[in-house]
Amino acid sequence: MSSVPADATQSAAEELLAISEIQSLFAKRLRVMDTKQWDRYAECHTDDVVSESYADVPDDNRPQADGQGNKVVGAEALTKAISGLLDGDTKVTTVHHGHMPEIELTSPTTARGIWAMEDELWWQHGDVTEHMHGYGHYHEEYRKVAGQWRISYRKLTRLRVTKTPGFFSYLRGRL
């Protein structure tokens, strides 16, 4: 369940509570993203969050930070990047699921986790419904800030993606 260092003083109940709070945070992030509640998205992350979750996006449309593609740094920058991708001129309907979390507490205020994930995305391109269906894992790190767990790092790795040929065409000239 956890590997909190021996000098930490968390009881089993405190460890279970921390894991439950992290699971709730993860669920909230997915719900807020899918329902496009962008005013609540940043609060799920630390101010200095690093996200490497855009490897599927064509190179010329990937967010960049520190000269590195597929990287966004900061909660506000992340909110702007994901909302621009999913809720800009073209509205993309999304459904994200996270399953089977492996959460490891690394201290009373830090943790890491791996989540199996599946997502589906759709948008209307004239008479054609463009669609992407992905499977993979979120690799995350968490930090407790002012008594609340926040996501401090995320990397999305994909095992399989199926998509219509024109799925990313809505991004041309954006980001």
Per-residue pLDDT of 87-135, as tens digits, reads 988 899 999 999 999 999 999 999 999 999 999 999 998 899 999 999 9
CA–CA gap between residue 75 and residue 68 (Å, rounded): 17
CA distance 150 to 142: 6
DSSP state of 91: B
Q: Which amino acid, 7? A: D
How far is the CA of 47 from the CAs of 33, 62, 146, in angstroms? 18, 21, 12
pLDDT of residue 51: 94
Domain ranges in the chain? 12-171
Low-confidence stretches of the chain (pLDDT beneath 70)? 1-8, 53-70, 172-175
Please tell me the distance from the alpha carbon of residue 10 to that of residue 83, in angstroms, as a whole number: 37
What is the pLDDT, as a whole number, of residue 89?
86
CATH fold label, 12-171: Nuclear Transport Factor 2; Chain: A, (3.10.450)
pLDDT at residue number 34: 98
| Two tokens, residue 86 | 């999913």
